[in-house]
Amino acid sequence: MATLILVFPINRSTSLNSFSRRGTLKLALLCIVTCGLYSCKDNSTGPTVTSQPRTYYMGFSGIPPKGDLALAIASIDMWSLRADAAIMSYELPWSALLDGIPADTEVVKVELPLANYYRAKGHKLWLYLDPANGLNRGGESDSLVARGRSITEPAIQQMFRRYAVVADSILHPDHLGLALETNLIRGASPAALYAAIRKVVNDAAADVRAQDVSVKLSVSVQVDYAWGVFGGTGYAGIDTDLVHFPFVQELGLSSYPYLAGFVEPDSVPLNYYSRLIQGHAMPVMVTEGGWTSASLGSIVSSPDKQRRYIARQGQLLDSVKAIAVFQLTFTDLDLSSFVLPPGSILPLFAHLGFVDINLSPKPALGAWDQNFSRRRP
């Protein structure tokens, strides 16, 4: 038996503009749970094994539908049956760091218990740290803005670098990402902000590598933006990102084709991933993405479209012999639990889950399970 401290990222007063679809911000709900880490089980039946292997790990993050402890644990236990990896992806806890809480104290208190919980279930661990704003790639973290601070400041950059080293040394991730959607940040943010992010990310990579020679380092790029389907700018690729971040050993991919104008999953080109890495012998993994199961505004979708996209994504992953794929939200998000600020874009991502807010399966779960049943060699 072990005492597990779980901290979850959602409560009713959370500013949804600062709630990142990429993972746990620092948590509004702190709960202590006693659980036998090696004996906690879900009695539901896992996917059936098929013979054709896959090259990639598959997993999720721990984002629950709302700030309900029992529901959050049930969600993790449910997706753990159909995962062999987990991802922790989040903006730094700037408020805590600016209040003087040491990075190692914050990591041990908030992140380590969850990392241990994932490992107790046998999952490989990916860690992605976001130096920017998860829901607004043209701006800074809301937590920094609220304090009148900026990632362009040397002192804030030093905090990021220190946190990256501490998180790596305490959590021991198998893979570490130090920036998300770098091409979208470059295209959407002021030049001075992008320059600061580029500098701090490269500096952090050097700091981490100085004390850890084994962790795989990466950033992620936004696939739809690289193809030019946002704004009709034409194909741009990712060569600039690989030049600006030369430490990258493997590349994360972010893709939400339903936001990029694709109406049908089958219309996503089969070379949607592979074209990006032509000429680059580099492992790739999908670190976020998906297809909504609900219509919203001009977006017309359905649970069956979402299912067909997951099947299509399997083909895209095979085309690049991907090493991992992550669906950040296993569940839909219960938007009624939040106070949505004006202009929040979170509703666009609220129906990416493979189960609804009550953990009832949607058709996409079957498509995911079919891929997962193709065991890794």
pLDDT at position 50 is 52
pLDDT at position 20 is 38
With residue 126 as reference, give the H or E element that holds it: strand 124-130
Q: What is the DSSP letter of 122?
A: T
CA distance 217 to 209: 9
The DSSP secondary structure of 58-86, one letter per residue, reads: EEE----SSS-HHHHHHHHHHHHTT-SEE
Q: Is 118 exposed, middle or buried (0-12, 13-18, 19+ CB in 10 A)?
A: buried
What are the C-alpha distances in Å from 82 to residues 49, 60, 165, 326, 330? 11, 9, 31, 12, 11
User: Around Cβ 273, how many Cβ atoms within 10 Å?
Assistant: 23
Residue 134 dihedral angles phi and psi, to the nearest 5°:
-65, -30
Secondary structure in 3-state letters for 80-105: HCCCCEEEEEEECCHHHHHCCCCHHH
Contacts of 372 (CB under 8 A, 6+ apart): 47, 58, 82, 83
pLDDT at position 41 is 38
Under the phi-then-psi rule, with left for phi > 0, alpha for psi from -120 to 50, and beta for the rest, what region is 138? alpha
With residue 205 as reference, give the H or E element that holds it: helix 191-211
pLDDT at position 172 is 98
pLDDT by residue for the chain (377 residues), tens only, comes to 332 223 333 322 233 333 333 333 333 333 323 333 333 334 444 444 456 899 999 999 999 999 898 999 999 999 999 999 999 999 999 999 999 999 999 999 999 999 999 999 999 999 999 999 998 999 999 999 999 999 999 999 999 999 999 999 999 999 999 999 999 999 999 999 999 999 999 999 999 999 999 999 999 999 999 999 876 789 999 999 999 999 999 999 999 999 999 999 999 999 999 999 999 989 999 999 999 999 999 999 999 999 999 999 999 999 999 999 999 999 999 999 988 778 888 899 999 999 999 999 999 999 999 999 998 98
Question: Taking a C-beta distance cutoff of 8 angstroms, is the pair 233, 260 a contact?
Answer: no
Q: What is the DSSP letter of 74?
A: H
CA distance 142 to 343: 14
CA distance 234 to 216: 31
Question: Taking a C-beta distance cutoff of 8 angstroms, is the pair 71, 58 a contact?
Answer: no
Rg of the chain on CA atoms, in Å: 19
Secondary structure in 3-state letters for 246-258: CCCCEEEEEECHH
- Hey, what amino acid is at 101? I
Structural domain boundaries in the chain: 2-42+52-372
CA distance 253 to 313: 12
CATH architecture of the domain 2-42+52-372 equals Alpha-Beta Barrel (3.20)
pLDDT at position 33 is 33
Q: Among 163, 287, 186, 172, which Cα is nearest to 242's?
A: 186
